[in-house]
Structures are given as structure tokens and as C-alpha cells.
Structure 1
Amino acid sequence: MFLGVFCLLVVCVSAGDKKNGSVLRLKDVPAAEAFIDSEEVTVIGFFETEAARGYKEFLDAVKQMDKLPVALCSEKEVWAKYGISSDTISIFRKADLHQEHLKLSEAKKIDGDGLARFMTMNNIQYVTEYNQASAVGLFQSAVKVHLLLLSDRGRSDSDPLQQLFRDLAPKYTSKMLFVLVNGREKSNTRVLEYFGLKSRDLPRIGVYDGVSDKKWLMPAGEISTERVQNFCDSFLTGELQKQKEQESPEDKTEL
């Protein structure tokens, strides 16, 4: 109970601080653990001093990240906890249990816009909307299997389907990344074509395996929790791969 309340307070303070032009500062390991556990994705700027290279640019980038919880930490005990040895910007994700570290000493160029792009690209949540920025983080993740909800977000069934997706996603942590593809976006036309779909066919559920570069569509019909879960499980157990594919072989294609 106490930890839950503390996590909530951390998030509220973080949001408030960002609006006031400052960022939450983490003073010890328990505070850092609570902060990281408070959201699906969190960012910590590990800077030894305010004079450090990239510090001001980091604060500039933070102003652009309205919904992403961000904190600062100069406490070496916390640095040791997360394997930080020099000024670093770190992103902590629950969806694939990943930590992405940007060592500022190794960066050739540092500016606020560039750091904001770094945080945006790596903002991979339990359910991530597919776009040009998020695609980078999705394909760089060690989790190469993507479960896609290809949906026309203008339809009335869109929100319930997204909620179904969000409810299931945590069960497949580090096994699958759940991705929302808005079929109304022209930039996503290629994704629909890759799955052999048109906007009139939506909503549909598909799985993409980045290792084999193969795809599967869940048979058309009701999109229910049970059907989606069975579809996921059949892929993870290998049953889906064993089924005879009805489509002809195709050249390797990236989304």
C-alpha cells in the first residue's frame, strides 16, 4: 500500500516539476526503484553535476516530453545499482524488460531535439502505436515478435479492442511487443499491404516474426480475449508455424 502511494506521488511530483521547469531528483535506490516501477516507460538522466556535457540539452528535451516520466540522479549509489559509470541518459521499459543507455561521452553531437528523438524512439510501452519514430525502437528491441492490432481507429469498436490489447499485453512481457497500427494513416498503408489487407478489412490481428520475417493473420471473425490469447499462444508454442501456409513465398520485406 505504501509503495503504491509513493509511486503515485513520484509520478505526480515529476509531472508537476516538469511544468515548473524543473525535474524530479532521485536521492536513493528506493526512490529510483519506485520511480522506475511507477510507469511502463521511465527516463533517468544520470548527471554528476549540472555542468556536465548534455545536462542543459537534456532539460530542453524534457520540456518536449509531456507524458514521459523523467527524473535526474547524481547519487553514485543509484548509479552502481543500474551499472552507470559516466553521465548517461537511461530509459527503462517494462514491455521488453529493457534498459537503453545513451552514454553522453560517446555521443558525437548533443542537442535537445536529438535527445527528444532518442526518448521518443525508445518509448516502447505495453501497447505502442506504430509510426516512423516508434518503428525504430520496435525493431531494435531484443523482442522480435510483434502482435499487431490493425484497426480503423475511427470505428466504434476501436476503443474496446485497444483495451483488450492493453489487458493482454502484460501477460506477454519480453515475449511479444503489442503494436497498434492505425489503418487510417496513409503512412501505414504499406503495413496493411504487407499483411494483404485493405482498410475495409479492418480490424484484424496479425503477428510478425522479425527473426524469420514471416507473418500470420488471425482468421477473420470476432476479436475476443480468448481468440487473441489462443493466437498468441499458438505462435509461442510453434503450432502456428507448423500450419501449412496458404500464401506463396515472398521476398524478405521490412515494414
Structure 2
Amino acid sequence: MKETCQLDVQVDKEQLDLEGETIESIDDIKLSRFIEINSLHLVTEYNPVTVIGLFNSKIKIHLLLMMNKASPEYEESMRRYQKAAKLFQGKILFILVDSHIKANEKVISFFKLKMSQLPALAIYQTLDDEWDTLPIEEVSVEHVQSFCDGFLKGKLLRENHESEEKTPKVEL
């Protein structure tokens, strides 16, 4: 008989299985982490309701896609962004910031981006306020994966990031 732990994820309508060697070595901490990570949306939209949960998440690296939800490219871009999110599930929290919403301009300016540079990706590590941005013409799984992998390896794309003043921590 094969032991399996199944989790029906209501937010993304997906069923995830924990099986094999993983299930044999699981303890309450690992099971809690599996449930917590997999019960999150693949992509969470940034808004006043979700912001508290985002900053209280155990996942301390956040990737923000800043784009206009009304743009013709939105649906295809989100499909690709969600696909990339699966690659980093449990490591990076994927967030959508709708640039069409006036209140979100504060988030965009925090990352020193202008509306003319959107769509863009911004990655942020909450523990040390380290961040980087990548204006993109098109959201692709490859762009997202490369940007995230680079950040995880300590590579920053921003020019002169070492001489740049640390951005003061502000509530977004």
C-alpha cells in the first residue's frame, strides 16, 4: 500500500500529492510548511486586503509583476507568470500589481520605476530590503526564471546598485 497525502487547493483548483520518500520522512513541521505553501495562490494580487498577508508570509522573497490588467497582453502574460510561479513555489511569492490602479503608483515608485517602463518585474527580499527590477517587453517564463535565478544567486541587474542609497523602508 502506498502512503499519500493529498491537498485540494481551492484557490487555484489544483490537487497536490505528497508521496514516496517525502511522505515517509515527513514530520509536523514539514507537513505544516507543505500545507501553508500550497494553500497560497500561485499569484496573489496586491491590494489593501492582501498586503498584510503578503508581508507576514513565511516566504520572504517576493516577485512583483507590475502591469496594467486592462492591457491586451494581460491574459497571456498572467498565464506565463503563473507557469513560472510553479517553478519557485515555496521559495518566492509571486504578486501582481495592477499599474492601472492609482493607489499602486506608490509601489511602482518604491522600485524607482516609471509607468513608461512597465510591464516590469521587481524582486524584493523582506529580511534585508534587497531588491532589483527588470523592465520587460514581454512576460515569458524564461525571463521570469532567469531573473529569479539570478537574484537567488546574488546577481543584481540595477546599474550602480552598490553606490545607490538604501531605499528607506516604507509601508506600501
Same fold, judged at TM 0.5 (above): yes
Contact map agreement 1:94 1:126 (CA 8 A) in 2: no
Higher relative contact order (CA 8 A, sep 6+): 2
With over 3 angstroms needed to count, the CA separation of the structure-2 counterparts of 1:82 and 1:175, relative to structure 1, is: closer
Give the match for residue 66 of structure 2. Answer: 150
Other-structure match for 1:39: 9
1:96 to 37, 48, 60: 37
* Letter paired with 1:96: I
The structure where helix makes up a greater share of residues is 1
Aligned to 1:182: 98
Would the aligned equivalents of 2:81 and 2:139 in 1 still touch at CA under 8 Å?
no
The answer (yes or no) to whether the contact 1:152–1:158 under 8 Å persists in 2 is yes
CA–CA distance in structure 2, aligned partners of residues 126 and 133 of structure 1: 17
Task: Report the CA distance between 1:166 and its aligned residue.
Answer: 0.6
Task: Out of 132-141 and 232-241, give the one that drifted further.
Answer: 232-241
Matched, 1:248 2:164: yes
What is the total number of aligned residue pairs between the two structures?
153
Q: Which residue pairs with 1:4 in the alignment?
A: none
**Quick one: structure 1 residues 203 and 97, their matched pair in 2 at CA, closer, same or farther if it must change by over 3 Å?**
same
In structure 1, distance between residues paired with 2:94 and 2:151: 14
> Which of 230, 233, 238 is residue 154 of structure 2 equivalent to?
238
Does 2:141 correspond to 1:200? no
Q: What's the counterpart of residue 87 of structure 1?
A: none
For the residues of structure 2 that align with 1:97 and 1:38, how far apart are their CA atoms?
9
Superposition pairs for residues 37-116 of structure 1, below 5 Å?
Answer: 37-39=7-9, 41=11, 96-97=37-38
TM-superposed CA distance for 1:201, in Å, is 2.7
Residue 63 of structure 1 corresponds to none
**Distance (Å, rounded) in 2 between the aligned partners of 1:153 and 1:219:** 16
Distance 1:183 1:246 in 2: 28
Unaligned segments of structure 2, at least 5 residues: 14-26
Percent of residue pairs bearing the same amino acid type = 31
Structure-2 change in CA distance of 1:40 and 1:246 (3 Å):
farther
CA distance in 2, matches of 1:147, 1:137: 15
Q: Contact 1:40/1:126 (CA < 8 Å) preserved in 2?
A: no
Return the index of the structure with the highest Cα Rg. Answer: 1
CA contact (8 A) 1:41 1:93 kept: no
Alpha-carbon spacing, 1:219–1:197, altered in 2? closer, same or farther (3 Å): closer
Q: Distance in 2 between matches of 1:225 and 1:187?
A: 28
The alignment yields a C-alpha RMSD, in angstroms, of: 3.1
1:200-228 alpha-carbon deviations (Å, 9 max, x no partner):
33211110111111321114444322121
Letter in 1 for 2:8: S
Residues 103-158 of structure 1 show CA distances to partners (whole Å, capped at 9, x for unaligned) of xxxxxxxxxxxxxxxxxxxxx41100011111111110111110111011111111
Measure the CA separation in 2 of the matches of 1:246 and 1:219.
19
Alpha-carbon distance between aligned partners in 2 of 1:39 and 1:168, rounded to the nearest angstrom:
18
Matching residue of 1:64:
none
SS of residue paired to 2:132: strand
